[in-house]
Amino acid sequence: METHVANAIKENNADSMWDSPIGGAYLVWRFVTGYAGVCDSGPNMLLVYPALAIVMDSSFATEISRASNLADFAFAFHDSSGSRAKSLSGLQERIIAQRDWVLKSIEFALVTRLVELDTETAALHVVLEKESASSVRLARDFKDNEGLNAELLGRVFARTQDNDIAYYLGVKF
C-alpha cells in the first residue's frame, strides 16, 4: 500500500496534489479517521462529498477548527438577518462540481487500503491506523492544514445524524 501512495506522491508536484485523487485520498483517510475517533461505525460514503467540498474551500478553514458541533459551524455562516452566507449557500454547487474528483479520491483511498468500504452499509472504515509507521510517512509527505481540517470535520460529522448534516449544510444527498 505505502509503495503505491509514495510513488504516486513522488510523481505529482505539491502544487497539483490537492487537485489529484492522491491528495483527495489522503483527505478521505483523515476524514474517516476523525469520524472513527468519535463513533464506532464509519461514516456513510456520501458524507465524504460535503466534507471534502468544505475542506477544500479556504473560507471554511477557520470555522472548522472552532466548531464543536455542526449547528455552530453552520450558524457561523449566517449573516445578521439569519440568511445563509454565500459560502455556505454555494456548497451544493461545489459538491456537484467536485463529485468526479471525490469519487476518484474515494476509489484511490480504497485501492491503496487507506480505508475500506462496507458494501452493505456504504460505511467507510479506517484500514491504515494513524499511529502506524506507514501513516507517519504518509503524513510527512502531506504537511497541511487540509488534512487536520478533514479530521476535525470528521469528528464534528460523527456527532451529528446524517439527515441533520444535510439540513444544517443545506445540501441534498
DSSP state letters, 110-154: HHTTSEEEETTTTEEEE-S-TTSHHHHHHHHH---SHHHHHHHHH
State the Cα–Cα distance between residues 110 and 104, nearest whole angstrom.
Answer: 10
End-to-end CA distance of the chain: 31
State the Cα–Cα distance between residues 109 and 45, nearest whole angstrom.
Answer: 12
Residue 138's pLDDT is 60
Q: What pTM value is reported for the model?
A: 0.83
State the Cα–Cα distance between residues 44 and 104, nearest whole angstrom.
Answer: 16
- For 25-41, the pLDDT digits (tens) are 999 999 999 999 999 89
- For 53-81, the pLDDT digits (tens) are 999 888 888 888 888 889 888 888 775 55
Domain span at residue 105 reads: 2-8+17-169
Count structural domains, the chain. Answer: 1
